[in-house]
Amino acid sequence: MDAHTITMCLVVFGILALTLSSGIHIGFSLFIVGYCSMAIFSPLPPGGNLSSSIWSTVNKWELVALPLFILMGEILFHSGISESLFKGLVPWLYRLPGGLLLMNIVACTFFAAVSGSSAATTATVGRITLAEFEKLGYDERLTIGSLAGAGTLGFLIPPSLIMIVYAILAEVSIGKMFIAGILPGFLLAGIYIAYIIYRGIRNPSIAPAMQESYSWAERFKAIKDLLPVIILILMVLGSIYAGVATPTEAAALGVLGATLFAFINRRLNLGGLLTCLVAAVKTTCMICLIVMGASYLSRVMGFLGIPSAITKAIVSLNLSPYLLMLMLGVVYIILGCILDGFSIVVMTLPIALPMVTAAGFDPLWFGIYLILMVELSQITPPVGFNLFVIQGLTGKSIGDIAIYALPFFILMLATTAIITIFPQIALYLPQLMSGG
């Protein structure tokens, strides 16, 4: 890179570091960085670009899916479906090695397929399982660690809020992005399950035996408690994969289904529904502000030529594709210690995506890789959001929870390596659905 480009990079990242360290909201920080950079280095009017960038970002039909999936997650959080899920899974899991510790993994996998949020998945499942495991005398480290790790599945298993944001910014199909997350999501869940079973075989005392026993008739009868979640999964994901609904329309179906189940369970009245609506509006506004700020900064950086200059500089190093992904992975892990997942995606995508596509990687695959990196940030201190959620549930320190989650952090790194070596794990289903 020439001296002028290096100067621009230093100024841009310097302003960003200054605004972030001052406590300004990440969305406003991105706007400030973009506006100042445009004013300093470009003769074009920064205000005109600001307004057109915001309009082009929010004027997308696909973005409507975002508040709908958020609302569905809020309704499910208050609907009592998680309690039914717990009751339905107990008869099937209690005798396996690791016992009900597998509940954290399986319940989070189910709930991730309808909530779209890592935090909502962790909080909803944790409110049920942590108290039960404490009463039964389960190993605390594995109880908390498995919940922290499995809760991140809310980002990887569709429908995922962060997948929607990535798809919009990377200009790839939301439906294909959802499909690409299925096999990696189940792979990660399967690796977690295998680890719990291995620990249960090595040390059965981590999961004390239950006094209750269940017949096969009782197990099949318990399936009725799983039906609400299964029906919602079929309504949302089934309608997308069958081609009868867009992700936005499927999100509306999900809201309708979640609302009906909530009222049938008599766990949600009009006041509770209003609370869900207000919470959904707040979360949507927060995410959209970040997305708009990132879109503006991305446009400014494009005008200044920073992404292309960085891409050319890295390409000129003749790094192998795998070494490039290793370097990016290290950067993302470091960023995960200081930024939340949405910020990581929107701030790095303008630079990272051109690099990985130039190296021959598919944008759909990179979306899954990036989401795995974001999942890692959910359980890395000091700002890992899942750590804060579990701290609120248990009262444990962030440091202790992070240590308990460390084995699952390592398993997530291993999963990332697997899908990097075998990208078809993420790409097979999208190619199959498109006939490619």
Q: What is the pLDDT of residues 235-246, one digit of tens each?
A: 888 887 777 888
228: enclosing H helix or E strand: helix 227-233
What residue type is 157 in one-letter code? I
* Alpha-carbon distances of 270 from 81, 160, 279, rounded to whole Å: 18, 27, 14
Environment class of 22 (CB within 10 Å of its CB; exposed 0-12, middle 13-18, buried 19+) = exposed
pLDDT at position 35: 87
Compute the distance between CA of residue 44 and CA of residue 40 in angstroms, rounded to an integer: 10
Tokens of 434: 């498109």
Per residue in 174-209, is it b (16+ CB within 10 Å) or e — as a string? bbbbbbbbbbbbebbbebbbebbbebbeeeeebbee
8: enclosing H helix or E strand: helix 3-21
pLDDT at position 411: 96
Residue ranges in the chain modelled with pLDDT below 50: none
Compute the distance between CA of residue 399 and CA of residue 46 in angstroms, rounded to an integer: 43
* Alpha-carbon distances of 167 from 34, 300, 422, rounded to whole Å: 22, 20, 22
CB 118 within 8 A of CB 159: no
Residues in CB range of 68: below 8 A, 6 or more apart: 248, 251, 252, 254, 255
Which residue is listed with tokens 């009262």?
395
Question: pTM of the predicted model, to two decimals?
Answer: 0.80
Per residue in 319-346, is it b (16+ CB within 10 Å) or e — as a string? eeeeebbeebbeebeebbeebbbbbbbb
pLDDT over 70, % of the chain: 95
Helices (H), 44-117: 46-58, 65-77, 81-93, 101-115
Closest CA to 163 of 182, 138, 186: 182
Compute the distance between CA of residue 270 and CA of residue 255 in angstroms, rounded to an integer: 15
CB 12 within 8 A of CB 303: no
Count of other CB atoms within 10 angstroms of residue 352: 23
